[in-house]
Chain A
Amino acid sequence: MSPAGVNTALAADAFLPEPYRVVAARSEIHDVATLDLVPIAGAVPAYLPGQFNMLYVFGVGEVAISISGDATNRSRIVHTVRNVGAVSGAIAALESGAVLGLRGPYGTAWPVAEAEGKDVVIVAGGLGLAPLRPAIYHVLANRGRYGRIVILYGAREPGDILFRHEVESWRQRLDVSIEVTVDHADPSWHGHVGVVPRLIGRASFDPAETVAMVCGPEVMMRFSATALADAGVAPADIHLSMERNMKCAIGLCGHCQWGPDFVCKDGPVMRYDRIGKRLTLREI
């Protein structure tokens, strides 16, 4: 199914949110919560790893949030939200039973099908692990279709590691290589300290046969993409999930315009060979 195919299933009025109920709310780390949502009427729409929804808190506002759950689980849709403003703060504070509006899914997806037969390198920073988690679920559920799977994750400090129990369970697998690093730690931390791009040069994969998926703060993605390219991964095989101020989510309003692209419909997942030069432009 193509992302465009998914979008055609939207309601007749593209700006009309569907009501969803929060059926589970979990606090992840100090300012991040995960919500499980089910539609009050109808079924959970099909979506692809990497896509996002517009979540609407009545009377507060609407914001774009990536889907962080398993795309094969059609019983609910999962979002992980960091409290960074009025709307995201209101979403992160919702409790089980609350109702919010949802439009979507929107945007481009991680190239999980294109990566079949190749090594997969997933580089996540901070909350960037949330939009990548559906792709991780996919490659782990279809492990035999991929070569080496390398997951590199960076956070500020040990207490900021997102989905910690899940990361630890992935780490116990013998067929996946996972390295976690933090920017700062005290001596009680026994893992890596240093920025996540430094893990790339130490990882074992075949750069000529690798598809890389990167998500995190834009500066971290820029440095990670450079490190991947320096390691020999073709820029066309490096995919970044971009973030801009999305309003309509369907390429009409122009709020998320970034050079020739609208991040809402041409992204969020974009190829490094197409956007690399733009990442360092100050004017856009």
Chain B
Amino acid sequence: MENLERILLEHPFFAGFGKDFGAVVTGCARNHKFDAGQYLFHEGDAANEFYLIRHGRVALEILPPGQRPVVIDTVPEGEIVGASWLVPPYRWNFDARAMELTRAIGIDAACLRGKCEADPKLGYEMMKRFLPILVQRLQAARLQLMDVYGKRAS
């Protein structure tokens, strides 16, 4: 557990995170290993965990009916996958696929939500870390939506 706490606090998402909070969050954490092509989760599944990517890369995909999946984002090591665990009804809105061998720390969502409810300071710390990421991804999605690179191939 001590080792997991050290690994967790070394992740950029938790940079500057208090050691006391680190121990609390580690109580909700576990290690994961995903082989290339393995799915972390699928759209519609319960969002029971979010993932700190330690090594590897994850593709976020949406499956349009009758078509090949569309990759909407890729998440490299040092970043996180998943925000749906924060917002009811806690369901994933896309698929997440390991593009290569990927090692991650999974944080149990119900466990962490419970601890955040019990300690608003911890909850606020978590919000301060998640919100900039969500805003950054929203802005990136808007830019993506603008489709700025000239006309399409016919």
Q: Is the CB of B143 within 8 A of A193?
A: no
- Alpha-carbon distance between A196 and B129 when the two chains are bound, in angstroms: 22
> How far in angstroms is the closest Cβ of chain B from A179?
10
Known A187-B61, A187-B97, A190-B99: A126·B148 in contact at CB below 8 Å: yes
Q: Is the CB of A184 within 8 A of B149?
A: no
A interface SS class: mixed
Q: Is the CB of B143 within 8 A of A84?
A: no
Q: Is the CB of A184 within 8 A of B140?
A: no
Q: Is the CB of B140 within 8 A of A217?
A: no
Query: Which residues 17-44 of B sit at the A interface, judged by CB distance below 8 A?
Result: none
Q: Is the CB of B143 within 8 A of A223?
A: yes
Per-residue contact bits, chain B 139-154, to A (CB 8 Å; 1 contact, 0 not): 1100110111111111
Stretch at the interface among B45-53, B63-71, B107-115: B63-71
Q: Give the contacting residue for B140; candidates A82, A125, A127, A197; CB below 8 A.
A: A197
> How far in angstroms is the closest Cβ of chain B from A29?
8
Q: Is the CB of B150 within 8 A of A126?
A: yes
Known A187-B61, A198-B136: A82·B150 in contact at CB below 8 Å: yes
- Alpha-carbon distance between A154 and B100 when the two chains are bound, in angstroms: 22
Residues of B within 8 A of A220 (CB): 143, 148
Q: Give the contacting residue for A193; candidates B74, B78, B100, B139; CB below 8 A.
A: B74
Q: Is the CB of B72 within 8 A of A159?
A: no
Q: Is the CB of B143 within 8 A of A192?
A: no
Query: Which residues 172-220 of A sit at the B interface, judged by CB distance below 8 A?
Result: 181, 183-187, 189-195, 197-198, 202, 216-217, 219-220
Q: Is the CB of A126 within 8 A of B143?
A: no
Known A190-B99, A192-B74, A195-B140: A183·B147 in contact at CB below 8 Å: yes
> How far in angstroms is the closest Cβ of chain B from A282?
16
Q: Is the CB of A193 within 8 A of B71?
A: yes
Task: Answer whether residue A249 sits at the interface, using C-beta atoms and an 8 A cutoff.
Answer: no
Q: Is the CB of B143 within 8 A of A219?
A: yes
Residues of A within 8 A of B153 (CB): 29-31, 159-160
Known A155-B149, A159-B153, A186-B68: A194·B59 in contact at CB below 8 Å: no
Residues of A within 8 A of B152 (CB): 156
- Alpha-carbon distance between A82 and B151 when the two chains are bound, in angstroms: 10
> How far in angstroms is the closest Cβ of chain A from B69?
6
Q: Which residue of B lies closest to A199 (CB)?
A: B76
Task: Answer whether residue B73 sits at the interface, using C-beta atoms and an 8 A cutoff.
Answer: yes
Q: Is the CB of A184 within 8 A of B150?
A: no
Q: Is the CB of B149 within 8 A of A219?
A: no
Known A217-B149, A220-B143: A187·B69 in contact at CB below 8 Å: yes
- Alpha-carbon distance between A41 and B53 when the two chains are bound, in angstroms: 60
- What are 26 residue pairs bridging A and B, where the CB atoms are less than 8 Å apart in the complex? A29-B153, A84-B151, A126-B150, A127-B149, A155-B149, A156-B147, A160-B153, A181-B74, A185-B70, A185-B71, A186-B69, A186-B71, A187-B69, A187-B71, A189-B71, A190-B99, A193-B59, A194-B73, A194-B140, A195-B140, A195-B144, A198-B140, A217-B149, A219-B146, A223-B139, A223-B143
Task: Write the residues of chain B forming the contact surface with A, with a CB cutoff of 8 angstroms.
Answer: 59, 61, 68-74, 76, 78, 97, 99-100, 136, 139-140, 143-144, 146-154
Closest 6 CB pairs of A and B: A126-B149, A217-B148, A30-B153, A156-B149, A193-B74, A193-B71
Assuming A84-B151, A193-B72, A197-B140, what are 14 further A-B pairs, CB within 8 angstroms? A30-B153, A30-B154, A125-B149, A156-B150, A160-B149, A183-B144, A186-B71, A187-B59, A187-B68, A195-B143, A197-B143, A219-B143, A219-B146, A223-B143
